[in-house]
Amino acid sequence: MISPYGSRQSRADYIDRRLAELYPETPVPLDHQDAYTLLVAVLLSAQCTDKRVNLVTPELWVLADNPAAMANVPVAKIQAVIRPCGLSPQKAKAISRLSQLLMEHHDGEVPWTFAELEALPGVGHKTASVVMAQAFGEPAFPVDTHIHRLAQRWKLTSGKNVEQTERDLKKLFPREHWNQLHLRIIFYGREHCTAHSCDGTKCEICRTLFPDRKRGVKTRK
């Protein structure tokens, strides 16, 4: 069978339509109340599941749920609470210091630019992208391991690194779809096209796009 999805753009257009059908609603997986609590939750999610972060953050917000309060919490106390998320020494120091910097340089508010966000401790481009997209509604396309893996399986990118994947995806999808689409790809990846349940040959979208694919796709990190 010859697939009608022979080009990157035709595959992207199909994926955009199908994921919108499967996931019309796109709730943010990390529980939060505002830009600051989202920023901290995303920072905690590095090498940790959203589910575990959501179990940990309620106790953290009891300690402090705003930069002014968090800046005064001893790092050891923060670390004790967030230990289940992994990398707790680094993450606790980053949460403490970024809270202090928000008070010192941003009047206690989370800044609304990539440059200012990425200047904060523990905040890389992906974390900044999530905050810009989900807290401020600015078009962004955060690429995590789920999206990087699926973009390769769907041949939307040559996938040498997440930076290249982000650039390629931004070219293929309408700017106004980015914020919802990155969540839809994550939802689909977790539900149907995981690292273990699909290798690029088994889930609905993989089979639709590549009906003649015989071998699994080896993801390049």
Domain positions in the chain are: 8-26+141-209, 35-134
Residue 195 banded pLDDT, cuts 50, 70, 90:
confident
Taking only the tens place, the pLDDT of each residue in 90-119 is 999 999 999 999 999 999 999 999 999 999
**The one-letter amino acid at 146:** H
| Residue 122 in this model has a pLDDT that exceeds 90 | yes
- The position carrying tokens 């949460």 is 95
* pLDDT of 132: 98
Could you give the CA distance from residue 221 to residue 217 in angstroms, rounded to a whole number?
12
Residue 218 known to be catalytic: no
Which pair of structure tokens corresponds to residue 43?
A: 């920072």
Could you give the CA distance from residue 50 to residue 42 in angstroms, rounded to a whole number?
9
Find the Cα–Cα–Cα–Cα dihedral 156, 172, 8, 203, rounded to 10°.
50
* pLDDT of 104: 98
Name the fold adopted by 8-26+141-209. Endonuclease Iii, domain 2 (1.10.1670)
* pLDDT of 56: 98
Average pLDDT rounded to a whole number, residues 188-201 = 92
16, 50, 65, 144: which is the annotated catalytic residue?
144
> Domain 35-134's class?
mainly alpha
Exposed/middle/buried for residue 76 (C-beta within 10 Å: 0-12, 13-18, 19+): exposed
Task: Quote the percentage of the chain above a pLDDT of 90.
Answer: 88
Give the number of other CB atoms < 10 A from CB of residue 68.
12
- Claim: this prediction has a pTM higher than 0.85: yes
Which pair of structure tokens corresponds to residue 121?
A: 């401790």
| Residue 215 in this model has a pLDDT that exceeds 90 | no
Give the number of other CB atoms < 10 A from CB of residue 171.
12
- Segment among 6-15, 70-79, 181-190, 194-203 with least mean pLDDT: 194-203
Q: Which long-range contacts (CB under 8 A, 24 or more apart) does 106-110 make?
A: 108/66, 108/67, 108/68, 109/35, 110/35, 110/36, 110/39, 110/135
Residue 34 known to be catalytic: no
**What mean pLDDT is reported for the chain?**
95
Same fold, 8-26+141-209 and 35-134: no
| Residue 1 in this model has a pLDDT that exceeds 60 | no
| Residue 219 in this model has a pLDDT that exceeds 90 | no
- Segment among 5-14, 24-33, 52-61, 154-163 with least mean pLDDT: 154-163
Average pLDDT rounded to a whole number, residues 11-20 = 98
* pLDDT of 144: 86
Give helix then strand counts, H and E, for the chain. 12, 0
Taking only the tens place, the pLDDT of each residue in 127-180 is 999 999 999 999 999 998 889 999 999 999 987 899 999 999 999 999 999 999
* pLDDT of 92: 98
91, 126, 168, 199: which is the annotated catalytic residue?
126
